[in-house]
């Protein structure tokens, strides 16, 4: 924390070694303390790094994060292919002493979002030694849709499904309101934390099978949503996190006016949910 920020209304970021603070929503950062008993908006206070406690106060640096979910609740990370992304020290090609220029990247032949489209042009230094730099460019022909939903989940002619964890749900609601030109709302993090996953059902173009309900079946038991909201174009169904624990396959059953659609989500897919 920057103690001076408590007594001054001046907001600025200064040079290296200084104290910096940023918040997505006004009032999210606690004032005058790093880890209060009750953090604003029900967030979790976590210290990411810090100097040794033997350091003098002027040299004592630390970084604190205030998270919607604690890091202990994260699932296991999975390795993905490097693609064209590199970091120093890169030895795949010899550095040319000549002047070089690069044409724009060609549009990807397949659908590629920001991560898929990243490509490294140059590196220097050594990443493990924490010195050097990298120059990266990207070329994308689709948005980061995978952050919010999997468009192929339970794919059929009647509806599409979108699944939201608390953070993604809050981010989507804020984005939706701002996109409509309305003032940014104050999200209810405590409400989002009570129920972990919301399943959104959207009626497919041309479908007449209006949604009337949704349940999850797991281990021979039928699990009802803790909250639901039906709309003309679909609905939203909120569940506690327990049905989505990746220890068994689950079935999602969507009831419609003319027929019921059922699809299975395998355990391996559930492990990818965040």
| Domains of the chain (ranges, CATH numbers) | 4-67 (no CATH), 78-143 (no CATH), 147-270 (2.60.40)
- The model's pLDDT over 56-115, given as tens digits with 9 standing for 90+, comes to 777 778 888 898 888 887 777 777 787 877 877 777 777 778 887 878 888 888 888 888
The whole-number average pLDDT for the span 22-32 is: 83
Residue 136's pLDDT band (cuts 50, 70, 90) = confident
Average pLDDT score over the chain: 78
Q: Is the pLDDT of residue 149 over 50?
A: no
Q: Is the pLDDT of residue 5 over 70?
A: no
pLDDT at 150: 45
pTM, whole model, 2 decimals? 0.42
Would you say how long the chain is, in residues?
Answer: 274
- The model's pLDDT over 226-258, given as tens digits with 9 standing for 90+, comes to 888 888 788 888 888 778 888 888 999 998 888
């Amino acid at each position: 924390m920057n103690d001076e920020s408590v007594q001054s209304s001046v907001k600025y970021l200064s040079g290296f070694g200084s104290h910096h603070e940023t918040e997505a929503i006004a009032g999210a950062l606690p004032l005058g303390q790093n880890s209060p008993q009750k953090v604003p908006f029900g967030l979790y206070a976590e210290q990411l790094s810090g100097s040794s406690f033997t350091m003098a106060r002027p040299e004592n640096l630390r970084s604190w994060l205030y998270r919607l979910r604690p890091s202990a609740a994260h699932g296991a990370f999975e390795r993905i292919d490097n693609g064209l992304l590199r970091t120093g020290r890169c030895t795949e090609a010899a550095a040319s002493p000549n002047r070089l220029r690069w044409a724009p990247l060609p549009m990807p032949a397949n659908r590629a979002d920001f991560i898929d489209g990243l490509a490294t042009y140059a590196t220097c230094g050594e990443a493990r030694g924490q010195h050097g730099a990298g120059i990266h460019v990207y070329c994308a022909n689709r948005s980061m849709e995978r952050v919010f939903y999997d468009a192929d989940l339970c794919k059929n002619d009647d509806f599409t499904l979108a699944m939201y964890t608390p953070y993604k749900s809050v981010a989507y609601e804020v984005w939706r309101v701002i996109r409509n030109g309305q003032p940014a709302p104050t999200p209810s993090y405590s409400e989002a934390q009570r129920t972990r996953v919301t399943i959104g059902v959207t009626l497919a173009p041309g479908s007449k099978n209006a949604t009337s309900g949704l349940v999850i079946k797991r281990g021979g038991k039928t699990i009802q949503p803790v909250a639901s909201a039906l709309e003309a174009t679909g609905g939203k169904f909120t569940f506690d996190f327990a049905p989505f624990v990746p220890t068994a396959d689950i079935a999602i059953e969507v009831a419609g006016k003319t027929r019921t659609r059922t699809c299975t989500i395998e355990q391996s897919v559930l492990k990818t949910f965040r």
